[in-house]
Amino acid sequence: MFVILFMAFVAYFGVWNSGFVFDDFNHLVENIHIHSLTPFSKFFLEPGVFVGDLEHPQNWRPAASLAGAVSWAVFGENPAGYHIVNLLLHLLNIGLVYLLAKNLFAGRRLAWLSALLFSVHPVLTESVTWIASQNNLLWTAFFLTACLLVQRKKFWWAAGVFALALLTKETALAGLPILPLLLWWQKDSSVKINRPFLVYVVLAMAYLMGRSLILGNPPGEDWGSFLIVPAVFWRYVSLVFWPADLIVNYNPASNFPSPITLFDGRVIGGLLAGVGIVWSLVIFWKKNWRAEFFGSLWFLVLLLPVLQIIPFVDLIGERALYAPLIGLALVVVSLVNRLNPKLFWLAALVVPLFVYLTIVRNQDWRSERTIWGAALRVDPENARAYANLTYYYLNTEIDPQKALELAEKFLKIRPEYRTVWINLATANSLLGNYQFAETELMKILVKYSGDAAVIRNLERNRQRWQGAVYPQP
């Protein structure tokens, strides 16, 4: 176990030197609602607390919101503390995966390799290194704990911990079928599956009712066609076995266009992968290959909520693979051992590669400049990357010339992209091109009437302009 934790620590060494990036600002730094622990009721009754937007809530995650508020009370604006907590949660989950796998495999060797593969897989970097993704680590920890409690027949304790997982992130609901499956695994005739399972079903229904009452029906997205589901599934599967071209933002306008035909390679790949997993489940069940069956089902059911079956805001998020990957690690290790036990140590040879790739990817997450720069290397036309990077050079590093160059480059591709267009005008204003900035901002205001950001930048430009014409003595 020490070796596993040590390898994970090496892979994520220095993560505490990274800063706030991307949604860390919305969720934490600029979210005044979690800067205080009072009133306590807001974490449960105000769904917008999690993202700092009470008017347009998209999810209800009271436990995650409360965890964020506690973290802010302890660490404030020091990002190192949050990163250390995330790393400790990941190390905790590694230990829980090891214990779960040891019980499933009735031995340490296979459990050791399963936990090791999970601990350093580079696709998990987003979950571990990104502060805003702490809810992924937290709900997984609760769910793994619930699984271990079920294995020990502590059903009421398991129900309580499972409730915490649900209150942390709605994805935990997909884990409902896994809990009774653990009882089936043990083949214990003294335990009836139906009774504890009924408790978990009632708990899940109560959660859904509460979520519906408080949150309502948040707006979804329209990704073009239902073919997006197998395409997204293929991307997730390919990321597990080929974790290359990792990117913080998947964009249908550039790097992940919606498929329009069944003959799209991603659709074909996703359909084949889906059929392959279902077929494998049948084979594993018939052969009574319990580890392979359990791991495959774990991967599939925990991935279902993020496959855009019900469309939601984030098209693809690598963080979504954090919990599902546990199941696939179990499958791979068990199959390798079953086919040829001598290949066991050969499979472990991939670990140093994973460690290296994780170290490299962690460097991308050090700052706004590095994470969005990395995104542009993967997707040179990524609109969000240009918007956030130009904003960074205008407000953090203060290099308006660099911001101007980036904005001009992107606007040749998409001439009227609002955010970058505003940043172009702002960069010109900071460089003293007040007339040009005024003209561009007025054009944007005509197109986006009443836009608060445009009006605010117009006022700032006029103040700078006036100060240049009538400098203070």
Domains of the chain: 2-363 (no CATH), 381-469 (1.25.40.10)
b/e per residue 47-57 (b: at least 16 CB within 10 A): bbbbbbeeeeb
Under-70 pLDDT residues of the chain: 106, 185-196, 216-224, 469-473
Q: How far apart are CA 238 and CA 123, in angstroms?
A: 11
Distances (CA, A) of 300 to 166, 297, 307: 18, 5, 10
Residue 251: alpha-carbon gap to chain centroid = 15
Q: How far apart are CA 427 and CA 389, in angstroms?
A: 12
- What pLDDT sits at residue 196? 65
The tokens for 358 are 């994780």
User: Mind listing the pLDDT tens digit for each residue in 369-397?
Assistant: 999 999 999 999 898 999 999 999 998 88
The tokens for 126 are 């987003």
Burial label, 25 (beta-carbon count in 10 A; 0-12, 13-18, 19+): middle
Burial label, 116 (beta-carbon count in 10 A; 0-12, 13-18, 19+): buried
- What pLDDT sits at residue 123? 95
Query: Is the CA virtual torsion 436, 438, 439, 445 positive or negative?
Result: positive
Of residues 355, 323, 144, 153, the one with CA closest to residue 243: 355
- What pLDDT sits at residue 414? 87
- What pLDDT sits at residue 188? 54
Distances (CA, A) of 368 to 76, 86, 172: 19, 19, 30
Q: How far apart are CA 328 and CA 321, in angstroms?
A: 10
Place of tokens 């979504």: 320
pTM here is: 0.90
The H or E element spanning position 239 is helix 228-241
Question: Residue 437 contacts by C-beta under 8 Å, 6 or more apart in sequence?
Answer: 425, 426, 428, 429, 461
Q: For residue 71, count other CB atoms closer than 10 A to its CB.
A: 18
228, 313 Cβ separation under 8 angstroms: no
Q: How far apart are CA 119 and CA 87, in angstroms?
A: 11
Question: Residue 202 contacts by C-beta under 8 Å, 6 or more apart in sequence?
Answer: none
429, 410 Cβ separation under 8 angstroms: no
In three-state secondary structure terms, 307 is coil
288, 187 Cβ separation under 8 angstroms: no
